[in-house]
Structures are given as structure tokens and as C-alpha cells.
Amino acid sequence: MISLRAWCMRLRELFRGEQLDRELTDELTAHLEMHLADNVRAGMQPEEARRVALLKLGGLEQTKETVRDRRGLPVLEAFLQDASYAVRSLLRSPGITLVALLSLALGIGANTAIFSLMNAVLLKSLPVRDPAQLVLFGDGLDQGISDGFPNPWLYSYPFYREMQKDNQVFSGVAAAFSMNDRIHGFVTGRHEAEPMNVQLVSGTYFPLLGVQAVMGRTLSEQDDQTEGDHPVAVVSYAWWTRVLARDPSALSRNLTIGSAVFSIVGVAPPEFFGTKVGEAPDIWIPLSMQREIPPGFHGYHDNMFESLHLMARLKPGISISEASANVNLLFQQILRGFSDAPRTPENLLKLDKTRVELNSMTTGFSRLRRQFSEPLKILMAMVGLVLLIACANIANLLLARSTARARELAVRQALGARRGRLIRQLLTESLVLAVIGGALGVAFASWATHLLLNMVSDGREPLQLHVPVDIRLLLFTLAVTLATALLFGTVPAFRATHPDLTEPLKSGRSQSGGPAKGPLAKALVISQVALSLVLLVGAGLFVRSLLNLTNVDTGFNKESVIRLRVDPGSVGYKQDARLSNLYRQIEERVGALPGVRAASFSIFTFNEGTWNNPIWVDGYLSGHRDTEVHHNAVGTGYFAAMGIPVLAGRTFGPQDTATSPKVGVIGETMARTLFPVGSPIGRRYGRGERNAADIEVIGVVKDVKYNSLDETPQPGDYLPYAQNVRYLNDFEVRYSGDAAAAVSAIREAIHDVEPQLPVSDVMTLDQQVARSITNQRLVAQLSAFFGLLAVFLSCIGIYGLMSYLVTRRTNEIGLRMALGATRPKVLWMILQESLWLVGLGIAIGVPVALTGNHLVSHLLYGLPASDPLTLLGGVSALLAIAALAGYLPARRATRVDPMIALRYE
Amino acid sequence: MGDKKDVWQGTLALMVLKTLEMLGPLHGYGIARRIEQTSQDLLAVNYGTLYPALLKLEQEGYVASEWGISHNNRKAKFYKLTRAGHKQLQKESREWQQTTAILERFLSAKESLS
């Protein structure tokens, strides 16, 4: 048995071969000389002494060879030799090698990257104790505050407490505010406001999840007993690292938010990102402190302030359906028991029909999932197809290569190389190719994952996702490509090293006996063409759909508008006249800047959520109660700043104050549906169930898009913030000239009015609109890339096959030309063959594309999945590119010199 | 010299180790001479067998080598026994003695039977 030590020594000897050789020679020479000297001393003549010594000791070189064999690791050396030979032989055909490597790298990399992201968004379990026992009430998609009755998606704090007290199926229930507050706060002793993403949670939240603090403690039920007296905060590991530089004394620090001072009591573990995938909060604060966190909610005791997501842990042995029965019973009882609930007969009838759906929370929950699960699945399918095409390509290239080398192999075998040794060498070559390709793939995968995450994060808020490259998928794709390389690299090798040597030796360049490039290669090319057509047409649909979206009329003019967010709540402003005054002052100051045409605050601009209420109109007693309208509270300059055309009446002016009669401006859809007869100007309406019809319509403006570019026209109105005091954190400025200069001037003007006011999320309105179609753009860009990649790979396939066929038919072509065939005729003959392949591929691809694209029809905007123009475009583009790929080898065929070609016979 | 026996496999290593134990650090030629002398010139050690054996022992860590000067002022590579080599020597000599004892008993038993 050879010990580990011996292996190590041998490994070292491997790298000191020359030196060891020299030493051995010295040693043996010394031995010989000592022997000689002894012989001479024994009385021999020098000549004889030498003869006897050499005779006895045996051959010098032979000994060296024996010793050398013992040294090092012969198997490894042979492998290294093979590998270096393989690299040289791959470099001899750099084109093929490059394409094979690229196919491998892109195939492996793209699949791994997309799967890794999909895994992070859709599949990974929450890093908490026993996530499989957790259930969520409803789907977690609704965010915000509602007073609807009944509402099985959002719950009030009193409801949470009742459910916690009365249920028999859960070992614990917890609540989390459905929105994160993106606010600003001050670390004690610092003057810069820190942006922070605050998640309000019940005291049971951390115990329910079984998450322990890495430092200090998490929140507990004691922090959430009575309102307002537990100003404590748990910070995330990332925030602790980023803002506090992992300060070990973080627990003695305080955070000032608004007018309250919170003490940091703990740091959450690094892997814990909360329960919503993609929205890692920075700070967790007990719900008992909600009034202190801007905008200062008053929901702690309000039965109808429905703003929470509820989650619970099943008792052992209880199934979701058993739990569901108990929960629904309680849901009915608790809501009926709320004395202040709007228990009209109509609402109670609705309550009878409403059921709470319990969903497994193993993987957390996320709006992200709704947004990206489908695009990711589509992209996954696309890269899967690209991987198939890449494998087909590698197969074809290696087939061509090893077939072309049949002669070389035959020669080497004839010269005495053992068959096993040759096969081992060919295997090594495929292996080297696959390993290099795999390494490139891994590098590409980690790069592509980052790129992808950046593309996805181009949404409203940066995505907080941890996306490690998925090792399992990486191994899978590596295995697939390795298997392809080995299979197609060696099967022809076995065939090529067949004992029958004479055939390839005889046939020279025109291997008439090589059937390896027959039907198999053609089938590969045909399927490549079919697959790339599917991808190309799909990509065409997505790109056109994206173009349609970007050309949608938003109703406002998105050019030359800067919008940003301010956070007056975090520097102590309450929702009162002082706040409205701040807004007015900033509007005036910024509006007076040179180059600024209009400036206004508002709650929203576009794709930032909505504030909805049912409204009712004087004179319509029924039938319109359920008409929900999107409200927005705005400044007087809003319509000018956003460029929303006024169709009738007037917009807000200085005469609309807190004490003047209430006024509103409505959109054209609202005007048309709620005031169908006569002019709406001067008519009145009320919002919410409890308000009188006290809002007078003073103007009608053009409809705008609220949340997405593809939404249908929505009814909406605008109210002056002077009459609706609340936090309006969006600020829009229409400017002319340089954007960067305008931004710094605006910042300065804001800080002239309120030096500490935090300003964030500065971007142009155009960017904001673009961000609303992030996933459409993601799909369009990536599918276009993969579609083109697929076409490119297929063309390489066609080119390779046709080149090979032309080489094989050199004699035939020469003969034809000698017999009088014209060049165009030869050209056509060859081209025809490649067009046949492409035609067949397209014929198969068209029905597949039509069927496949129906699956994505609901993701398209403004065109059907069977859009003939796109299909036609795809087919003709593919035809043109493929014809070019076939034309190049065909042209080479026409250059054949008949004399030279014939001489080969 | 044709009637001299070549050392057979496996025993050479043991002889080398024993030689080094008796004589201390020694070069390859010295080892070869010593083995030949001890065998009263019944064994011939050529370097085609000696040097691969020495390399093997060195790889296994039983001997260590070092360049030095021989007593007739020649540069030569000296081999010496390592601690592991001492142990190995004891172990192998014990095994070898056992083997020969068994074989001897076996052979004499055979004689008495016949």
C-alpha cells in the first residue's frame, strides 16, 4: 500500500523531474567511479576495471528509466500530457472551439442564473423554524388600509387579538403591518437622516417564527400590551452592518423617528429578511408604537382599521383544512361581534358568503411572486431551449471534428498507438472542452445572476433578495453538457478507431465511408432551426408588446418632470396646518426657481399605489354606491407640473382654502360614468359611506393611468391638499434645461425651507413610468437576446454541416464542373440542400410556435399571440440568416478547381 | 559471476535498512558492497535494482538522503535511517524471522514424513 506521504512525495517529484534526473546521473556516476577505484585497488588494469564494473552494474540508461518510472505519478503524467495535447489540438481549430465553449458557457450560465433567481423568488423556504407549519390568512397580496366589510385579506388589530384568544388550532398567531414604512430616522448623535424601511409587527411575530436575535433580544408579547409605552426596535443584520458598522455597543444606541426615541434592543440574524420575499425591512417595531411612526396610524384599537397580514403556526397534527374550518367560524363570529362594524343587511349577506383562505407560508409570501413568477417561468423555458440548441450544436461540432479526424487516428493506430490510449485521449479532449466551458459557464452564471437581479430590481423599490448561484442546477447543467460533449466526442471516436484501418487511410480527404454526418447531423440541424423559430417568434411578440406599452398615452406628459419624495413625518411634522404650510412654502420657493415651470405636491404620481373610496353622487340614490374612485390630493400646480390637459372648468387656485367650500377636479371617465347627463361642473358628490355629498366639481381633466400602462381607463378625482390635510410625500417639478442642475437647485430650495427634511427617490417621471414595465422589459430584452442567440447557434450548425458536406463532395463538384456545370448551378445545388433543412425546420417550428405562444397570450399587450406579422417576420428573418449561413459554404464550393479536385481521386 | 544470485524482491529493502542501521549514513555504492560482503559474495546488487529500491524507501519515508563527501573525497548521496525506518526495520525483521521459522519447521516436517 502506498501511504499518503508517498503520494505527496511523488506529487512533488512530478514538478522537479529535471533536477532529480541530474542528481540521479551524478549519483550513478559516483557509484561507478567508486566501483572502478575499488577494482583498480584490487589490482585490475583500468580498462578491465571499467569493463567489469559496467558488466556488473547493468545499463546506465536502463536504470535511469526504471528509477524515473518509479518516480512521480505515471497516470497523472499521462493525463497531463493528454490534456496539453488536447488543448493544442483544440487550439488548432479555434473557430469550432470558441463556438463550443460559448455555447457551453451561455447554456450553463443562463440556465443557472435564471433558475437561481427563480429559486430565490419562488421556491426557497423561509429561514425560520419549521416554515412548513406556518399559514397565512389570505394571499398576502393586498397592502394598505381598508375599512371594507368583510375583508378576508387584511385584518384589524382587535381582530388579531380575538383570533389569537379564541382559536383552537394554532400554537401561535402573529400580525404584521401589510405595508412597510419607508421613512427616515436619526441615530443618536448623528445629524444625517437615515432612510429606513420599518416593519410594524405584533409582539408574537418573532416568537411565532422562532427567530432568535444574534445580539440582544427580539420583540416579545411584553412590547405589545398597551399602546405607546414600548419604544423599542430590532434592527436587521444588514442595517446594523450598513449604518452602525457592526457596532458591538449598538444596544446602547437610540433611534429618533419623528418625535419618539426608540432604543435598539436587538439585532436579527443575517439570513432573516422578514416574511415577505424581496422586501427586507431594516427595523422591526411593535405595533403598539404605530402612532409614533409616520404617518402615525391610529389602528391599535380600531375594529375597522384593516391593515394587517395575519400569520399563524399550526398545532402539531392539525391540517390546513381543519384549521380553516375553525378560522372561518371565528371570522364570522368576530366580525359580527364588532359593534361599530357597518352591519347593514347587505353587508351581512356578503359576510355569509366570505371565506378566509389559509395558505401555506413555507416559502413566505410576496407580491414579487405575482409579478415575476410567470416571466421567470417563461425565461426558464427559453433558456432550457437554448441549452438544447447549444447541446445540439456541440454534438454537431464534435461529430464533424471527430469524423474529420478519422484519418489522423487511423495513421496513429497504424504507427502503433493502442486503441485504448487513443480513446482515452479523445475522451480527454472532450473533457477538457467541457471543463473549460463549464468553468466559463460558472463565471458567466454568477455575473448573469447579478445582472438579472439588477434588471429585476429596476422596479419601484430596490429588491432585497439574496440570490446565491444554485449549486444543484449548476451541477445539473454541467452534467448535461458534459454528457453531450463526452457522448458526441467519443462515439465517433470509437467508430474512428475501429480496427479496420485501411478504409480511412485509403480514402484520404474524401471519406466516402464516414456515415457519421448523415441523418443524425441533419436531424440535429432541423430541430435547431425549429426551436430557434419558436424562440425568435416569442421574442418578437414580447418586443412588440413592449413597444406597444411604451407608446401608451399615459394622460400626462412624462417628459421634463423631476419627481422626488420628502419625509416630513420623520422630522416631527404632524398632519395639520403646519404641514400644509410647509408644502405651500416649498412649492412657492421651487416654483420661483429659474427654468421651473410648475411644482406641486401630491400623494401619488404613477405606479405608487392608490387611495380608493366608493363615492356617491347627488341624485343617484342607488346603483353607484360601489363605484370606486382613485383619489389624489394635490397642490394647485399639479396639472401644470404633470402636463394633464384640462378639458372643462378650472383647476385649483388660491381661492380653494381649508375654509372655502370643498371642491374637486374629476377625470373624463368619472365624468362620463357618474354624470352622464349634462355638464358635471357645479354638481356634487361624496366619498366614503359616511360623508355627505359635499364636494363640488369645478373641472374635468383628461384620464391618466394610475398603476400600470395596460390598465383600462379608471375613474378618478383630485382634491386640493389645502382641504385634505395629510402627508403628501411626492413632489413633482416641471423644468426646462439640464436635469442634474435642476435637481440640485430643487434640493437647495427645499432645504432652505426645512433644513432637515429628508429627500429621497429622486428620478424623472419618465424613469418612473419605465420602471412600471420592468418585467415586460426584462422578458422582452432577455427573450430577444436568447432568440438571437438561438438563431446564431443554429446558423453555426447549418454552416458547420454545409461546410462539411461541401468538403466531402469536393470531388463530385469538381467532376460536375469539369463536365460543364456552371458556377450558379453548383451554388444553387449546395444552397438548395441547406434551404431544405431550414424549410423543414420552419415547417415544424411554425405550428409549435403558434401553440407555444398561446400560453403567453395574456402577457402580451396590444397584439394577439398568433400575430401574423410577427410570425412572418420571424420566419423571414430566420430564412435570411440561415440562407446566409448556407451561402458561405456554397460559394466555397463554386471556387473548387476541377483539376485539383479530380486529382484527389 | 553468473552463479551469483540476484537479490529477490522484498528482501532487498530489508537488507538496505539493516545495513543502514548497522553502519549509519552510507552511499548507494557502500550499501551494495556491504550487502555483497555480508552475503559472502553470494548476492550481486546491481544498480538497476538498488536505486529504484532506495527511491521507494525514500518515498515511504523510511530513509532520508543528503549529499556529502565520501571517505575517498568524492561527492556522493548518503542515505540514513529515519525514525519510521527504525520501526519498519524492527517490524520487518520480526515478520521475516517468523516466516523463516515457519518455513523451517515446515521443511523439516516434510523430511521426517518421507
pLDDT of residue A624: 47
What's the complex ipTM? 0.84
Alpha carbon of B108: minimum distance to chain A alpha carbons (Å): 34
**B51, B60, B88: best to mutate for the A interface, most A CBs within 10 A:** B51
**Beta-bridge mates of residue A261:** A256
3-state SS, one letter per residue, for A613-651? EEEEECCCCCCCCCCEEEEEEECCCHHHHHCCCEEEECC
A3 part of contact set with chain B, CB < 8 Å: yes
pLDDT digits (tens, 9 = 90+) for A597-625: 999 999 989 988 788 877 877 665 444 45
pLDDT of residue A589: 95
Cβ–Cβ under 8 Å, residues A438 and A482: yes
**Which percentage of chain A shows pLDDT scores above 70?**
91
Nearest to B70 among A6, A34, A66 (CB): A34
A-contacting residues of B 65-84, CB under 8 Å? 70, 72, 74-77
pLDDT digits (tens, 9 = 90+) for A557-573: 999 999 999 999 888 88
**Beta-bridge mates of residue A358:** A137
Residue A904 has pLDDT above 80, yes or no: no
CB contact under 8 A, A57 and B59: no
Residue A460 has pLDDT above 50, yes or no: no
**Could you tell me where the DSSP H helices lie in A515-568?**
519-550
Which long-range CB contacts under 8 A does A29-35 form with residues at least 24 apart?
A30/B27, A30/B29, A30/B70, A30/B74, A30/B75, A30/B76, A30/B77, A31/A57, A31/B27, A31/B28, A31/B29, A31/B32, A31/B47, A31/B76, A32/A57, A32/A60, A33/B74, A34/B27, A34/B29, A34/B70, A34/B72, A34/B74, A34/B76, A35/B29
Nearest to A57 among B27, B47, B74 (CB): B47
pLDDT of residue A323: 94
| Position with higher pLDDT, B113 vs A238 | A238
Alpha carbon of B96: minimum distance to chain A alpha carbons (Å): 18
DSSP assignment of A23-82 equals HHHHHHHHHHHHHHHHHHHTT--HHHHHHHHHHHH--HHHHHHHHHHHSS-HHHHHHHHH
CB contact under 8 A, B46 and A23: no
pLDDT digits (tens, 9 = 90+) for A195-225: 899 999 999 999 999 999 999 999 999 999 9
pLDDT of residue A501: 52
Mean pLDDT of chain A: 84
Mean pLDDT of chain B: 82
Give the residue-averaged pLDDT of A303-317: 93
Residue type, A137: F
Cβ–Cβ under 8 Å, residues A87 and A441: no
Q: How confident is the model at residue A437 (pLDDT cuts 50, 70, 90)?
A: confident
pLDDT of residue A515: 43
CA quadruple A283, A287, A289, A294: dihedral sign: positive
Nearest to B1 among A31, A56, A59 (CB): A56
Mean pLDDT: which of A54-58, A549-553, A598-602 is highest? A598-602
Contacts of B37 in chain A (CB under 8 A): none
**Residue found under cell 460558472:** A442
CB contact under 8 A, A27 and B46: no
pLDDT digits (tens, 9 = 90+) for A883-894: 888 888 888 888
Residue A509 has pLDDT above 50, yes or no: no
Count CA atoms within 13 Å of residue A826 on its CB side.
27
**B47, B62, B71: best to mutate for the A interface, most A CBs within 10 A:** B47
The SS3 assignment for A285 reads strand
Cβ–Cβ under 8 Å, residues A681 and A725: no
Alpha carbon of A85: minimum distance to chain B alpha carbons (Å): 30
Q: How confident is the model at residue A548 (pLDDT cuts 50, 70, 90)?
A: very high
Alpha carbon of A58: minimum distance to chain B alpha carbons (Å): 6
Alpha carbon of A18: minimum distance to chain B alpha carbons (Å): 16
A134: left (phi over 0), alpha (psi -120 to 50) or beta: beta
**A36, A57, A65, A68: best to mutate for the B interface, most B CBs within 10 A:** A57
A406-414 vs A367-404: helix crossing angle, rounded to 10: 50
pLDDT of residue A505: 55
Contacts of B29 in chain A (CB under 8 A): 30-31, 34-35
- Give the residue from chain B lying closest to A57, CA to CA: B46
CB contact under 8 A, B75 and A66: no
pLDDT of residue B3: 47
CB contact under 8 A, B75 and A30: yes
A588 part of contact set with chain B, CB < 8 Å: no
Contacts of A31 in chain B (CB under 8 A): 27-29, 32, 47, 76
Helix (H) or strand (E) holding A257: strand A254-257
CB contact under 8 A, A23 and B61: no
Nearest to B46 among A3, A10, A57 (CB): A57
- Helix and strand totals (H; E) in chain A: 27, 22
Task: Count the neighbouring beta carbons within 10 Å of the beta carbon of residue A324.
Answer: 17
| Position with higher pLDDT, A743 vs A10 | A743
Helix (H) or strand (E) holding B11: helix B11-23
**Which percentage of chain B shows pLDDT scores above 90?**
15
Contacts of B27 in chain A (CB under 8 A): 27, 30-31, 34
Q: How far is CA B8 from CA B43, B49, B60, in A?
A: 10, 10, 20
| Position with higher pLDDT, A492 vs A428 | A428
Task: From B66, B113, B60, B67, select the one nearest B88 (Cα to Cα).
Answer: B60
B96 part of contact set with chain A, CB < 8 Å: no
**Which percentage of chain A shows pLDDT scores above 90?**
35
- Give the residue from chain B lying closest to A2, CA to CA: B60
Task: From A482, A518, A516, A492, select the one nearest A390 (Cα to Cα).
Answer: A482
Give the residue-averaged pLDDT of A454-463: 62
Please name the residues in contact with A562: beta carbons below 8 A apart, sequence gap of 6 or more: A732, A733, A735, A739, A742, A743, A746, A762, A763, A764, A765
CB contact under 8 A, A67 and B74: no
Q: How confident is the model at residue A511 (pLDDT cuts 50, 70, 90)?
A: very low
| Position with higher pLDDT, A222 vs A374 | A222
CB contact under 8 A, B48 and A3: no
C-alpha cell of A495?
467508430
Alpha carbon of B58: minimum distance to chain A alpha carbons (Å): 8
Report how far residue A905's alpha carbon sits from residue B111's, in angstroms, rounded to the nearest whole number.
80
Pairs of CB atoms within 8 A across A/B? 74
pTM (two decimals): 0.71
- Give the residue from chain A lying closest to B53, CA to CA: A67
B-contacting residues of A 48-87, CB under 8 Å? 55-59, 62-63, 66-67, 70-71
pLDDT of residue A823: 85
**Residue found under cell 387584511:** A154
Residue B48 has pLDDT above 70, yes or no: yes
pLDDT of residue A170: 95
Report how far residue A541's alpha carbon sits from residue A861's, in angstroms, rounded to the nearest whole number.
9
Query: Dihedrals φ, ψ of A627, to 5°?
Result: -75, 110
